[in-house]
Amino acid sequence: MKSPTQTILKYLSLKVAALLIVTSGAAASVMAQNPRIETTQLNGLAAKASETVDLNMDGALLQMAAKFLSSKDPDEAKAKELVNGLKGIYVRSYEFESEGQYSDADVESIRSQLKNPAWTRLVNVNSKKDGGVELYLMQTNGEVTALALLALEPNEVTFINIIGAIDLEKLTELGGRFGIPELEIDLPKVKRKN
């Protein structure tokens, strides 16, 4: 027969075990919602590419770069305002001399990370001739907190990951700055929490 102390210890150990399981599940859920997409899998494309862009700007570096944007120039002032809410901009772009230098398998690691329920695919444009564009958003409490864009052309792969408070209407102001190519994409309206 078990003593009352043994019974209490067993009960407490079961509660602690259950708490650890719940806590580890919550931690895994939080970790699974990381807005930063791992891009090291794309490094193999650099050896095949004739031109590459590899940009990593965290929040501190972005704020320093924003200081060089003029508040007097309307376009630069808009870009400066947008950058203030960002925590990171990460760009990988590979341009090839000819078509067929990459395959879907080369970008599948990016797509698999974006299949996480935290990400919502907002745009998916495909053309057998011209390639395609996929735009994903991560939202927290109705606010866009991250963006991922995968643009594929017959001889080019571009991936952009922007983290932070993002105003989609102002996002196009970053095109041509901070290594972000100018992309002509009509972004759909996203519901904003009032």
Is 35-58+87-174 a CATH 1.20.5 domain? no
HSE of 67 in the Cβ direction (CA atoms, 13 Å)?
Answer: 5
pLDDT in tens, the chain (194 residues): 554 444 443 443 434 333 334 333 433 344 447 899 999 999 999 999 999 999 999 988 888 888 888 888 887 887 787 788 889 999 999 999 999 999 999 999 999 999 999 999 999 998 888 889 999 999 988 889 999 999 999 999 999 999 998 877 666 666 665 556 565 555 445 444 44
> What distances in angstroms separate CA 183 from CA 29, 159, 174, 193, one per listed residue?
33, 12, 10, 27
Residue type, 165: A
Contact of 45 with 95, CB cutoff 8 Å: no
Strand partners, 92: 54, 159
Predicted pLDDT at 18: 37
Burial class (CB in 10 A: 0-12, 13-18, 19+), 179: middle
Q: Is the pTM of this model over 0.75?
A: no
Give me the residue spans of the domains in the chain: 35-58+87-174
Contact of 159 with 150, CB cutoff 8 Å: yes
